[in-house]
């Protein structure tokens, strides 16, 4: 993966309601379908099933929802943050095993309460942009062809051949840039509320990068906090 991935925050988001972390990994093993939950994810699912929302820092659910609430977009029902869907799946004993990179994303999101997106870097590109979805923007998010409307939702776009391609958001990622068996390089985003401390967000981003290295056998992995003064 060259050059090093980057994530830009669009000026229209000033003040930005989110403090995102960018995570990446190169040279991962072929991400085949997971036959069962890996140990690090199974333990988080067990904790979530036992503790429910108490697993997360106090007020995390409300703060994440507030991060998404804007204009026409209301983070409720099917528009809930992905972290809430994961928590519900754990509580109902229906947590999915997907593939190694997505399992890593799901483990960190479930444990932290922070929604996350992960993309095939060859499909998304390594230049990413965080902005709000525009009127009429939408994308397919699953093999069944279901569509999510993106207007006013926090949206990550990737640059491909000079154009910005909507790739993911804190609710559902685009099917066009999802991980597949041929994926070798990945880029990911953790969406934290702007009030999240640098120390706490770094802890989760480092955990994400470390799991990509150990579980996905990445040749190299790393992370960077975006919009944080050095």
pLDDT digits (tens, 9 = 90+) for 28-77: 999 999 999 999 999 999 999 999 999 999 999 999 999 999 999 999 99
Q: Which two tokens stand for residue 94?
A: 């229906």
Q: Which two tokens stand for residue 3?
A: 């050059």
Q: Which two tokens stand for residue 211?
A: 């799991």
Q: Could you give the domains of the chain?
A: 6-122+177-225 (3.50.40)
3-state secondary structure at position 140? strand
Q: Which two tokens stand for residue 49?
A: 């099933």
Q: For the chain, give the percent of residues with pLDDT over 70.
A: 97
- Scanning 22-155, the segments in alpha helix (DSSP H) are 39-51, 60-68, 82-91, 100-112, 121-124
Q: How many residues does the chain have?
A: 230
pLDDT at 160: 73
Q: Is there a cis peptide before residue 214, judged by omega within 30 degrees of 0? A: no
> How does pLDDT run across 122-162, given as a tens digit for each residue?
999 999 999 999 999 999 999 999 999 999 999 999 987 77
- Scanning 113-224, the segments in alpha helix (DSSP H) are 121-124, 198-214
Question: How many other C-beta atoms lie within 10 A of the C-beta of residue 217?
Answer: 13
Residue 200 class from Cβ within 10 Å (0-12 exposed, 13-18 middle, 19+ buried)? middle
Name the pLDDT band for 230 (thresholds 50, 70, 90).
very low
Q: How far apart are CA 132 and CA 12, in angstroms?
A: 8
Name the pLDDT band for 199 (thresholds 50, 70, 90).
very high
What are the φ and ψ backbone dihedral angles of 31, each rounded to 5 degrees?
-80, 80
Among the listed residues 171, 176, 162, the one whose alpha carbon sits nearest the alpha carbon of residue 189:
171
Among the listed residues 151, 172, 177, the one whose alpha carbon sits nearest the alpha carbon of residue 77:
172
3-state secondary structure at position 17? coil
Among the listed residues 117, 212, 163, 230, the one whose alpha carbon sits nearest the alpha carbon of residue 222:
212
Q: Which helix (H) or strand (E) holds 130?
A: strand 127-132
């Amino acid at each position: 993966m060259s050059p090093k991935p980057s994530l830009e925050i669009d000026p229209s988001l000033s003040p930005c309601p989110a403090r995102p972390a960018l995570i990446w990994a190169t040279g991962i093993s072929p991400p085949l379908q997971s036959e069962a939950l890996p140990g690090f994810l199974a333990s988080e699912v067990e904790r979530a099933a036992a503790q429910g929302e108490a697993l997360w820092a106090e007020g995390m659910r409300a703060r994440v929802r507030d991060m998404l609430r804007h204009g026409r977009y209301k983070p409720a029902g099917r528009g809930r943050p992905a972290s809430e869907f994961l928590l519900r799946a754990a509580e109902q004993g229906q947590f999915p095993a997907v593939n190694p990179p997505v399992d890593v994303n799901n483990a960190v999101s479930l444990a932290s309460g922070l929604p996350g997106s992960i993309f095939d870097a060859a499909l998304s590109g390594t230049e990413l942009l965080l902005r709000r979805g525009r009127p009429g923007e939408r994308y397919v998010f699953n093999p069944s062809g279901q569509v999510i409307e993106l207007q006013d939702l926090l949206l990550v776009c990737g640059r491909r051949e000079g154009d910005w391609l909507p790739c993911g958001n804190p609710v559902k990622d685009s099917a066009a840039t999802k991980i597949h068996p041929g994926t070798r390089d990945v880029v990911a985003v953790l969406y934290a509320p702007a009030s999240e401390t640098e120390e706490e967000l770094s802890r989760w981003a480092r955990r994400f990068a470390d799991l990509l290295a150990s579980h996905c056998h990445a040749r190299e992995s790393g992370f960077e906090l975006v919009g944080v003064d050095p």
